[in-house]
Amino acid sequence: MKNSSAEIEQASTWPPAQNKRQAILNAAADIFAEQGYAGASIDAIAARAGVSRQTIYNQLGDKDNLFKVVVAEITDRSSAGFFRVLDTFPAAPEDLEKELTEFSTRLLRKAICDPNGRWLRKLVETEGARFPELFETWREYGPGKKYPAIAARLAQLAHAGYLELDDPALAARQFMALLATDLRIEQQLGRRTPDAEIDQMAANATRTFLRAFASRP
């Protein structure tokens, strides 16, 4: 019973009840992502959370509601992580390629590799068709907020003369696509990608992106 969510949990600085609630949410996120909605049994979640089944029903109601709460929770965390990284976007870089590559590395490491984002993507892919509202929620947070945020930063770089963009929104999607492509393949294995490879991916993506969009003197 290796607990792959340990990284996310916060120590017991919360009211005791909230602590168990977090344990349940983390366990549920694991199991839902691994097994899908139908395949995830409440017993399995209870077992992984180290909690009795009844406690889950007490705190979170039925399976449907548990699922919704889990997704909402993870969406928040994932979004927060992303925007924390986005704040480090280089606004007036001296060495554009170097600083953008470093930003890409951070983005890959903290926002795309992190369990929250992975769970979310998988859950949306798996259960999106069956939970249309959830799909909408995710859409609002994911493509709806992240891409425009990236696009704004890129547009700013373009305005400052670093890039030549005619469609910042498109450039943002392409930037993210280049960044995530290799990871997508690796990730489905569940394999934890070594840092060196992540650096390489960030460098590859950034290099190609700049070959396409960097201003030429």
Partner DNA sequence: ATAATTTTGGACACAATTGTCCAATTCGTC
Partner DNA sequence: GACGAATTGGACAATTGTGTCCAAAATTAT
Site residues, DNA (CB under 7 A): 15-17, 20, 40-44, 50-55, 57-59, 62-64
| Distance in angstroms (rounded) separating the CA atoms of residues 211 and 91 | 19
Report if residue 190 touches a copy of itself, rule: CB under 8 A.
yes
**Residue 181 interacting partner from DNA, a copy of itself, none (CB closer than 5 to 8 Å by kind):** a copy of itself
DSSP letters spanning 87-133? TT--SS-SSHHHHHHHHHHHIIIIIISSHHHHHHHHHHHHHTTT-HH
What one-character-per-residue DSSP string does 169-212 give? HHHHHHHHHHHHHHHHHHHTTT----HHHHHHHHHHHHHHHHHH
- From 11-19, 94-102, 117-125, 149-157, span contacting a copy of itself (CB under 8 A): 117-125
Q: Is 58 in the site for a copy of itself (CB under 8 A)?
A: no
Binding-site partner at residue 59 among a copy of itself, DNA, none, CB < 5 to 8 Å by type: DNA
Q: Which does 57 bind (CB under 5 to 8 A by kind): DNA, a copy of itself, none?
A: DNA
| Min CB(42)–DNA separation in Å | 4
What's the min distance (Å) between Cβ of 177 and a copy of itself?
3
**What b/e sequence results for 88-113 when a residue is b if at least 16 CB atoms lie within 10 Å of its CB, and e otherwise?**
ebbeebeebeebbbbbbbbbbbebbb
50 binds a copy of itself (CB under 8 A): no
**Which listed option, DNA, a copy of itself, none, makes contact with residue 128 (CB within 5 to 8 Å by class)?**
a copy of itself
